[in-house]
Structure 1
């Protein structure tokens, strides 16, 4: 057989076998345009915003919105973990993780998370971005004064004024007596909202400054306060003279304390107090704060009984003392004899 023909037949056979193998076994021939596995696109936390959500007397819910920026190739299995750390103790108070899924388009996507924390103090909010359980980026926000997030029953647009010209609590002397005086105590409130309020009342409590004894208290309805309007409520109270008092005004709605304010009434001309002043020890006559109709029959009986005991002579009577003296003289004479 011709040698050239034999070589040609062998080459043809090898080419045929290669073609059959490529058809039967996919992937044997590499694609010259293939660059290997596709790298995921870039992702990062672009912004974190926090808003106040629902609240109860003990807890507050924080609505946290995380904006994620994506670009390049598709990115699979993206998630966001959010946690609240107490600013004072450093303890983790709440944690939530939300799945974002697969990102294919360039731009920003939003992931919303809700965290419920105790309604007090402040928190550091940590946001951690994951891709396939691998941490990619982090961000942090700080919030303070969570107690300002009030539940519905504490929300009102009417509160005590904060002005030197219109102090929240004031008083005037309506009637001055020898032992007691009647004061007209008042409170000034302002409605800062857009709707009127008409379901509020103010409770006035007068406490003797040094002892904290409640000398008098009274409650008065506020009535309707229009939007943007200021109203003053007054009520008379009677207290003993020559003492100084703190006037506590408590704004109440349906048994719930909404706001408080304090003033001072100085009825002792030799000593004055203010709402920010430290108290000192003074002489106090508790009977001045008793009700005027209190009976004292038992006290009179005790006084008379006590007086009789004090005027009586303690020990032996005078006759017994004289007999004892004579016996001592006789015993002394006999001893000398």
Structure 2
């Protein structure tokens, strides 16, 4: 056998052995570029905060943490969330999420949450631990938590907020010298995507200077279609010649949904606007307490009688100004002053 033949035979044997080895142990041949000998590393890429369950005094803040993993596997990974008051610096809530072992590279989202009071702002401190050792941290600030609406009061239906069309409209149906029957119409708008459930409309009429409730009424607001506005009308009866605040509120199962206010100016001499009183005027409690002809100390109109035992008018002999006693006192004082000057 010559040299050339021997070399070809040896090369063929090497190729054969290599092929047999690849079939018997497929992992024996590995691309060096696919080997990652770096130590495992877990980092926070992003944090997303969203409202969760909103209650009367507290609210749940849901936290979505995007973790990025590189290198070899990392064991016993945990994430700790702390909610700290922005003004007080006090710890409000702390939670821990057990992630476990992280491997495979890439990113993953880990969800968590904290409970905070529905007031003020907070600083959310998130820390990542690997086998008990802190490896990364991030701080997120949250404000305006008080603006979150509790779930029991979350409704897309409310009073109409228009620039021209009145939310509360009051008209006089009947009137005499003592009482007035008023028709109160209230506009309600559904701003949601579904038809609303029936609600209760409660209307109170308060005398402007005293805040005494003159009359009240309750009506049912039937289902309102999405994007539609309905008008609900009710009737009340109040003493005439007074000004009133018209308070309207929407209730769902004794939960206050929305409220608004209008006015009814029945006093021709004075007027008021919503949440503002122009001037004080005389007020007779008896008019709102149901006093009538049989009320003690009242005339036929239910108002207090004039001063005096028999309600008689003042005579011409009445002394004007301060009266006789005041005049005598003034004379005595003048005499004493003159005597001292002498």
| Inter-partner Cα distance in structure 2 for 1:118 and 1:280 | 42
Q: Aligned residue for 1:229? A: 228
User: Cα gap change, 1:239/1:155 in structure 2, threshold over 3 Å: closer, same or farther?
Assistant: same
**Is structure 2 residue 54 aligned with structure 1 residue 55?**
yes
Structure 1 stretches lacking a partner, 5+ long: 1-37, 309-337
| Inter-partner Cα distance in structure 2 for 1:148 and 1:183 | 37
Q: Is 1:60–1:149's contact at 8 Å kept on the other side of the alignment?
A: no
User: Cα gap change, 1:179/1:160 in structure 2, threshold over 3 Å: closer, same or farther?
Assistant: same
User: Cα gap change, 1:48/1:185 in structure 2, threshold over 3 Å: closer, same or farther?
Assistant: same
Please give the TM-score of this superposition, normalised by the length of structure 1. 0.70
**Is structure 2 residue 145 aligned with structure 1 residue 145?**
yes
User: Cα gap change, 1:130/1:166 in structure 2, threshold over 3 Å: closer, same or farther?
Assistant: farther
Q: Aligned residue for 2:27? A: none
Q: Is 1:175–1:181's contact at 8 Å kept on the other side of the alignment?
A: yes
Q: Aligned residue for 1:154? A: 153
**Is structure 2 residue 183 aligned with structure 1 residue 184?**
yes
| Inter-partner Cα distance in structure 2 for 1:271 and 1:126 | 58
- SS of the residue corresponding to residue 289 of structure 1 reads helix
1:255-274 equivalences under 5 Å are 255-274=254-273
Q: Aligned residue for 1:289? A: 288
For residue 291 of structure 1, report the CA deviation from its aligned partner. 1.9
For residue 74 of structure 1, report the CA deviation from its aligned partner. 3.1
Deviation string, structure 1 residues 42-93 (Cα, Å, up to 9, x no partner): 4322211122222333332222111112223433333221122234433322
Q: Is 2:186–2:233's contact at 8 Å kept on the other side of the alignment?
A: yes
For residue 278 of structure 1, report the CA deviation from its aligned partner. 5.7
For residue 39 of structure 1, report the CA deviation from its aligned partner. 6.5
For residue 248 of structure 1, report the CA deviation from its aligned partner. 0.8
1:1-337 equivalences under 5 Å are 40-131=39-130, 132-134=132-134, 136-151=136-151, 153-277=152-276, 281-291=280-290, 295-296=294-295, 307=309
| Inter-partner Cα distance in structure 2 for 1:169 and 1:125 | 44
- SS of the residue corresponding to residue 166 of structure 1 reads coil
- SS of the residue corresponding to residue 307 of structure 1 reads coil
Q: Which runs of 4+ in 1 moved over 6 A?
A: none
Larger Rg: 1
For residue 298 of structure 1, report the CA deviation from its aligned partner. 8.4
Q: Is 1:186–1:235's contact at 8 Å kept on the other side of the alignment?
A: yes
For residue 118 of structure 1, report the CA deviation from its aligned partner. 2.6
User: Cα gap change, 1:94/1:279 in structure 2, threshold over 3 Å: closer, same or farther?
Assistant: farther
Q: Is 1:70–1:105's contact at 8 Å kept on the other side of the alignment?
A: yes
User: Cα gap change, 1:47/1:307 in structure 2, threshold over 3 Å: closer, same or farther?
Assistant: same
For residue 275 of structure 1, report the CA deviation from its aligned partner. 2.2
| Inter-partner Cα distance in structure 1 for 2:233 and 2:173 | 12
| Inter-partner Cα distance in structure 1 for 2:72 and 2:294 | 92
| Inter-partner Cα distance in structure 2 for 1:135 and 1:87 | 25
User: Cα gap change, 1:122/1:297 in structure 2, threshold over 3 Å: closer, same or farther?
Assistant: same
Q: Alpha carbon RMSD of aligned pairs, Å?
A: 3.0
For residue 146 of structure 1, report the CA deviation from its aligned partner. 3.8
Q: Is 1:263–1:275's contact at 8 Å kept on the other side of the alignment?
A: yes
Deviation string, structure 1 residues 191-248 (Cα, Å, up to 9, x no partner): 1223222421100001112211111110011122112211010111122233221111
The worse-fitting range, judged by mean Cα deviation, of 166-175 and 203-212 is 166-175
Aligned residues: 270
- SS of the residue corresponding to residue 42 of structure 2 reads strand
| Inter-partner Cα distance in structure 2 for 1:202 and 1:208 | 20
